[in-house]
Amino acid sequence: MAVAVPVGVLLALGVVLLCTAQVSSDVKIEQDISAVGVGEMVVVRARGGNRRAMQEIDCGELCKVRCSLNSRPNRCKRACGTCCVRCKCVPPGTSGNRELCGTCYTGMTTHGNSTKCP
């Protein structure tokens, strides 16, 4: 004699199993943290392409420090924020040191083909 199990019960059981299953990951995270005046530069790279393993950084505060001496601070903060969100990095200091954030930061350009990231 076969017992009929409603489809909803099977779906609920499947969801519970998926939610409680542990996923192992071989992603190694390396951090390079160096103090920079008021703010900090945090560079986190995840190997294996797992973007969720990347640490979140406070782009607003880091860009505020980066753009503090710029002649157009609002424009600088807007560009810096875009670069920070995409590249997960803000170089230390108020200018220069762009190469510390890698090709993502140095290679980003505007529509006019000038460098985007301050």
Instruction: Name the DSSP class of 109.
Output: B
Tell me how crowded residue 106 is: count the other CB atoms within 10 A of its CB: 17
Instruction: Give pLDDT tens digits for 87-116.
Output: 999 999 999 999 999 999 999 999 999 999
How far is the C-alpha of 88 from the C-alpha of 54, rounded, in Å? Answer: 8
* Domain locations in the chain as residue ranges: 29-107
Residues of the chain with pLDDT below 50 are 24-48
Torsion of CA 56, 93, 80, 40, to 10 degrees: 10
- Residue 2 has a pLDDT of 58
Residue 84 makes CB contacts below 8 A (sequence gap 6+) with: 57, 59, 62, 63, 90
- Residue 3 has a pLDDT of 63
- Residue 66 has a pLDDT of 95
Nearest to 57 by CA among 95, 20, 88, 94: 88
